[in-house]
Amino acid sequence: MKITGVDCTVLVVPDCNSDACDSSQDTVVVEIRSDEGITGIGEVDTNPWVVKTLVESPGSHIMSLGLKQLLLDQDPTQPQAIWDRLYTLSAMTGRRGAGICAIGAIDMAIWDLYGKATGKPVWRLLGGVPQPHVTPYASLLPTGTTLAEYRESLLAKATWAREFGFSAAKLEICIKGPYTHNRLQEGDDAIVQLVAECRQEMGPEMRIMVDVAYCWSDWKEALRVLRRLEQYDIFFVETPLPSDDLEGYRRLANATDIRIAAGEWLQTRYEFLDLMDRGQVDVVQPDVGRVGGFTEALRVVQLAQDRGKIVVPHCWKTGIGAAATAHLAAVSPNCRFIEFLPAAVAESRLRRELVSDELQIVKGRLQLPRHPGLGVSLNPEAFSRFAAAAERLYSPRPLPQEA
C-alpha cells in the first residue's frame, strides 16, 4: 500500500470569538489517501492555517523538505518510519513548534489509515498493555463576560457533570493573567471562591482539577494561592506558571502537596524530558496531535512511566482528537484520566457536529473503541459548512473605518 494523496482543510465555527480562551473554535483536518482507496484522518490543536501551509509547502533541499512531498509513495503501515522521515528531512524548519504539530496531525491520520487497512482499532496496533477502560474527566469552560456570569455558567456545568455521572471534572478558571476568557481580569480571591463553590456543588466524592491558564508570573505568588486551595482536595492544578519557567515549576512542585500539571503546549519527548526532569511536575499532559502524533505521545508516556509520573492527556478539539486521546489512554497504564470536552456542554459547533460517531460514556467510563482506525467519521455537511466559514474568515476584508 502507498500514500497517494494528502489534503489539508481549515475549519472554523461561524461565530468565532477571538476573545474567548477556547481553541475548539477551529481545527485543521489532514486526510491521507492510499492507492487502495482508504483515507485516514487526523487533526491538531494549533493555528490551522500555519499547519496547512507547512504540510503543503514544497522544499528545495534535503534539510527542509515539504511534508506532503515526503509522504507520497510511502507505506502507511510503517508509521514510526514515516515519523522519523518527516522529522529528519524537515528538521531545519520543523523540529519543534508548528512543524511538530503538522507532523502530529499527519501521524494521527496515518495510524487511522493503518487501522482501517487492517480492520483493527488504533489502540490494538499501538502495542503496550490494553487497559480495561478509560476514565474521562469533564473539562468545563464557562461562558460570560462578567465574573457573575462566569460563576453561574461554571456552577451550572459542574452540576451537569455530576448529574451526568462523571467521576471527575476540571474547572477552567481563566479569569486572571494573559489568557483570560473574554478579557475578564480578576484576582486570587475570585479563583479561591470559585473553587470553593464548585467543591460544595460537586460534593466530596468527585475529583476536581483546576486549570488557571498560566495566570501567575512567579512561583511564590502561585504557592500562596495553592496553600489556600489545599483544603478543597484538588487532584491537580494545571499550568500555574508560564510554560518556559521550568525553575519556577520545580520550586512550586516541591513546595505544595497539590499535584502540578503541565505540558499541553509541548512538542516532542525532548520538551517533556525537560518538563519532567528540570520542571519536576507531577502530571504530564501531552496532546496527541500537538506532541507529534501517537508515535511521539507513546514515547512520552513511556518516559513518564519510567519516572513514576502520571499522564493525563490534553484534548480540547473535535471528536477526532477525543477519539485519538482515548486510543492512547487505552494502552497507557499510567494514564489516570483523559481530558474530555463533553459535546453536550461545549459551545463549539465543531466539537458537537464534525464527527458522527461520539464516544460513549457509561457510568463515568469510556469503553475502548472497537471500530477500525480511530473509529470516527467526518460529517460531510458539517465539514463543508465549517470550511466555508474558514474561507470567509481568511479572506482579507477592509476594517469598517477603511471601507
Rule CB under 5 A: choose which of 211, 245, 347, 353 binds Mg ion. Answer: 211
Q: Which is nearer to Mg ion, 213 or 359 (CB)?
A: 213
Smallest distance from Mg ion to CB 120, Å: 32
Query: Identity (one letter) of the amino acid at 330?
Result: A
Smallest distance from Mg ion to CB 179, Å: 9
Smallest distance from Mg ion to CB 286, Å: 12
Q: Which is nearer to Mg ion, 89 or 275 (CB)?
A: 275
Residue 236 vs residues 241, 258, 275, 323: alpha-carbon distances, Å: 14, 6, 16, 23
- For the residues of 335-383, what is the DSSP string, one character each? B--EEE--GGG---HHHHHSBS-PPPEETTEEPPP-SSBTS--B-HHHH
Nearest CA among 148, 193, 146, 189 for reference residue 171:
193
Q: How far apart are CA 279 and CA 276, in angstroms?
A: 5
DSSP 134: B
Q: Which is nearer to Mg ion, 219 or 236 (CB)?
A: 236
- Segment near Mg ion (CB under 5 A); pick from 18-26, 100-108, 181-189, 259-267: 259-267
43 lies in the site for Mg ion, by CB under 5 A: no
Q: Which is nearer to Mg ion, 45 or 264 (CB)?
A: 264
Q: Which is nearer to Mg ion, 26 or 264 (CB)?
A: 264
Q: Which is nearer to Mg ion, 262 or 389 (CB)?
A: 262
| Contact set for Mg ion, span 335-394 (CB under 5 A) | none
Smallest distance from Mg ion to CB 264, Å: 5
Q: How far apart are CA 4 and CA 105, in angstroms?
A: 17
Nearest-CB residue to Mg ion?
A: 211
Q: How far apart are CA 23 and CA 115, in angstroms?
A: 28
Smallest distance from Mg ion to CB 84, Å: 30
- For the residues of 250-314, what is the DSSP string, one character each? HHHHHH-SSEEEE-TT--HHHHHHHHHHTS--SEE--BHHHHTSHHHHHHHHHHHHHTT-EE--B
- Segment near Mg ion (CB under 5 A); pick from 196-204, 263-271, 304-312, 359-367: 263-271
Smallest distance from Mg ion to CB 316, Å: 7
- Segment near Mg ion (CB under 5 A); pick from 138-146, 204-212, 274-282, 332-340: 204-212
Smallest distance from Mg ion to CB 170, Å: 8
Smallest distance from Mg ion to CB 256, Å: 18
Tell me the three state secondary structure of residue 318.
coil
DSSP 329: H
- Segment near Mg ion (CB under 5 A); pick from 175-183, 206-214, 329-337, 384-392: 206-214
Query: What are the grid coordinates assigned to 180, written together?
Result: 483570560
Nearest CA among 98, 119, 137, 117 for reference residue 32:
117
Contacts with Mg ion by CB under 5 A: the residue count is 2
Specify whether the CB–CB gap between 360 and 319 falls below 8 A.
Answer: no
Q: Which is nearer to Mg ion, 211 or 296 (CB)?
A: 211
- Segment near Mg ion (CB under 5 A); pick from 41-49, 203-211, 342-350, 371-379: 203-211
Query: Identity (one letter) of the amino acid at 121?
Result: P
- Segment near Mg ion (CB under 5 A); pick from 45-53, 207-215, 224-232, 369-377: 207-215
Nearest CA among 312, 236, 246 for reference residue 280:
246
Smallest distance from Mg ion to CB 368, Å: 25
The single residue listed with the C-alpha cell 483546576 is 210
Q: Which residues bind Mg ion (CB under 5 A)?
A: 211, 264
